[in-house]
């Protein structure tokens, strides 16, 4: 038996680890132990409920308005005890959050091999996304197994002289999406059932990146508000991240504006089916850039760069920056120019076939751990 300890803490890590955890749990050669840091509390619980996952350990680190240093110090101390106790043969971490990079370091300091799920993504800009670009580089230096979603990600690792135990697996987010997308889905949230998807251009909007907090976020929100005020057939659904800093800006800019629906974060089943029904996605999220293209939905990314160029090259995703004029012009261009819209609607799936988790487990089981 291989004892695998999986550690995660935020919503996207939980969603992308969930299909892998389900497969680890049922594998006869694996003893799967699950630890959440709860860097996110409510938003991670929603994912655990959706996929029916009960962690063996919960580090309960989240506090309102936590700093990165808070996350690091609590994770270091609390995870160290668990790793010493559990003595896993491998620790799996996901992506680029502070939970992931700190957990990789704690495993390394205990001389336990690390497997990095979603390896090899880069912007090559130290401060954007911040602190994620450096988090993922730290993990790449530490990791013994690198599970790269795409060939491009594997080539990036190769360019950094990381050549051993690199596996191109696809992204586990596609495994997760396939587990929850349904035809003719009826929402649990009644407000979503009242949206007129046939006669209105319903845009799904999310925004949470640390580097967008402050002026960029105010500019992005203001551009969206003005588009809605000027166009009666446009409606926005914005499930707001629980970070209070975002909520303050959203409540200020969008206060009292009709056809801008500010709602609580949706559970993953509701969210992915909303993505499937909407007209357009505007976001600064990483995971949504991977999911929406496979549903054939155009994505406008309110950031200045992306570590996910594959769907940009395929024409389904466009980077539109964070300036008011640019954001407004680019969203209007896709909303009101049918040929532009249609050209972005091709369903492309550069991120996987839904079997990434199985490939990751094969690599672990066939290794010399």
Contact between residue 167 and residue 363 where contact means Cβ atoms under 8 Å apart: yes
Set 241, 303, 308, 359: catalytic member: 241
Set 3, 27, 78, 210: catalytic member: 210
Q: CA distances (Å), 242 to each of 23, 64, 181, in order?
A: 30, 9, 24
Choice from 6, 37, 97, 272 touching ligand UD1 (CB under 6 A): 97
Choice from 210, 225, 277, 318 touching ligand UD1 (CB under 6 A): 210
- Choices 7-15, 110-118, 312-320, 336-344 (CB under 6 A): range interacting with ligand UD1: 7-15
Characterize 68-93 residue by residue with b for buried, 16 or more Cβ atoms within 10 angstroms of its Cβ, and e for exposed: eeebbebbeebbeebbeebebbbbbb
Choice from 26, 65, 161, 199 touching ligand UD1 (CB under 6 A): 65
Task: Establish if 131 lies at the interface with ligand UD1 (CB under 6 A).
Answer: yes
Question: In Å, how far from its chain's centre is CA 42?
Answer: 16
Max Cα–Cα distance, the chain, nearest Å: 62
Choice from 42, 188, 196, 325 touching ligand UD1 (CB under 6 A): 42
- Active site (annotated) includes residue 132: yes
Contact between residue 70 and residue 61 where contact means Cβ atoms under 8 Å apart: yes
- Per the structure block, which two tokens stand in for 276? 């499937």
At its nearest, how many Å lie between ligand UD1 and the CB of residue 261? 20
- Active site (annotated) includes residue 118: yes
Contact between residue 219 and residue 327 where contact means Cβ atoms under 8 Å apart: yes
Contact between residue 197 and residue 234 where contact means Cβ atoms under 8 Å apart: no
Residue at token pair 């991670």: 44
Contact between residue 42 and residue 19 where contact means Cβ atoms under 8 Å apart: no
Sheet with strand 166-168: strands edge to edge: 57-58, 30-36, 2-8, 90-94, 114-117, 145-148, 166-168
User: Among residues 66 and 333, whose Cβ is nearest to ligand UD1?
Assistant: 66
The SS3 of residue 107 is helix
- Choices 22-30, 59-67, 142-150, 184-192 (CB under 6 A): range interacting with ligand UD1: 59-67
Size of the site for ligand UD1 (CB under 6 A): 21
Question: Which of ligand UD1, ligand UDP, none does 271 bind, CB closer than 5 to 8 A by kind?
Answer: ligand UDP
Set 58, 96, 291, 330: catalytic member: 96
At its nearest, how many Å lie between ligand UD1 and the CB of residue 148? 19
Choice from 26, 52, 54, 64 touching ligand UD1 (CB under 6 A): 64
Contact between residue 113 and residue 139 where contact means Cβ atoms under 8 Å apart: no
Alpha-helical regions (H) of the chain = 11-26, 42-51, 68-86, 98-109, 132-142, 151-159, 172-180, 190-193, 215-230, 244-254, 268-277, 287-294, 310-313, 324-336, 338-344, 356-365
Q: What is the DSSP letter of 31?
A: E
At its nearest, how many Å lie between ligand UD1 and the CB of residue 309? 18
Please return the burial class of 230, using the count of CB atoms within 10 Å of its CB with bins 0-12, 13-18 and 19+.
exposed
Choice from 243, 304, 348, 367 touching ligand UD1 (CB under 6 A): 243
Choice from 85, 198, 244, 258 touching ligand UD1 (CB under 6 A): 244
Site residues (vs ligand UDP, CB under 6 A): 11-12, 15, 173, 206, 208, 239, 265-266, 268, 271-272, 285-288, 291
Choice from 6, 10, 172, 357 touching ligand UD1 (CB under 6 A): 10
- Active site (annotated) includes residue 241: yes
Q: CA distances (Å), 108 to each of 8, 44, 83, 88, 126, in order?
A: 16, 25, 10, 12, 23
At its nearest, how many Å lie between ligand UDP and the CB of residue 232? 26
- Active site (annotated) includes residue 208: yes
Question: Which of ligand UD1, ligand UDP, none does 131 bind, CB closer than 5 to 8 A by kind?
Answer: ligand UD1
At its nearest, how many Å lie between ligand UDP and the CB of residue 112? 25
Residues assigned a catalytic role = 96, 118, 132, 208, 210, 241
Binding positions for ligand UD1, rule: CB under 6 A: 10-12, 39-43, 64-66, 68, 97-98, 131-132, 208, 210, 242-244
């Amino acid at each position: 038996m291989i004892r695998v300890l999986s550690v995660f803490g935020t919503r996207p890590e939980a969603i992308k680890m969930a299909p892998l955890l389900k497969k680890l749990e049922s594998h006869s050669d694996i003893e799967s132990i699950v630890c959440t840091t709860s860097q996110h509390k409510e938003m991670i619980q929603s994912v655990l409920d959706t996929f029916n996952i009960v962690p063996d350990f919960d580090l309960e680190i989240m506090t309102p308005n936590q700093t990165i240093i808070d996350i690091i110090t609590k994770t270091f101390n609390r995870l160290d005890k668990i790793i010493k106790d559990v003595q896993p043969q491998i620790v799996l971490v996901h992506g680029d959050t502070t939970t992931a990079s700190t957990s990789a370091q704690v495993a390394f300091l205990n001389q336990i091999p690390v497997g990095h799920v979603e390896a090899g993504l880069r912007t090559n800009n130290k401060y954007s996304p911040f602190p994620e670009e450096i988090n993922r580089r730290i993990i790449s230096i530490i990791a013994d197994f690198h599970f790269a979603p795409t060939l491009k990600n594997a080539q990036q690792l190769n360019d950094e002289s990381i050549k051993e135990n690199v596996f191109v697996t696809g992204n586990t987010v596609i495994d997760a999406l396939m587990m929850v997308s349904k035809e003719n889905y009826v929402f649990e949230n009644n407000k979503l059932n009242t949206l007129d998807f046939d006669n209105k251009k319903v845009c799904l909007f999310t925004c949470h990146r640390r580097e967008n907090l402050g002026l960029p976020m105010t500019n992005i929100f203001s551009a969206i508000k003005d588009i809605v005020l000027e166009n009666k057939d446009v409606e926005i659904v914005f499930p707001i991240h629980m970070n209070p800093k975002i909520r303050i800006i959203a409540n200020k800019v969008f206060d009292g504006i009709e056809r801008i629906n500010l709602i609580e974060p949706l559970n993953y089943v509701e969210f992915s089916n909303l993505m499937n029904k909407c007209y357009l996605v505007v976001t600064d999220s990483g995971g949504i850039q991977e999911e929406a293209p496979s549903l054939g939905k155009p994505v406008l990314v309110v950031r200045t760069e992306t570590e996910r160029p594959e769907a940009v090259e395929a024409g389904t995703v466009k980077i539109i920056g964070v300036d008011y004029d640019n954001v407004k012009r680019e969203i209007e261009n896709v909303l009101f120019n049918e040929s532009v819209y249609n050209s972005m609607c091709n369903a492309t799936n550069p991120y996987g076939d839904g079997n990434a988790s199985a490939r990751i487990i094969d690599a672990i089981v066939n290794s010399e751990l």
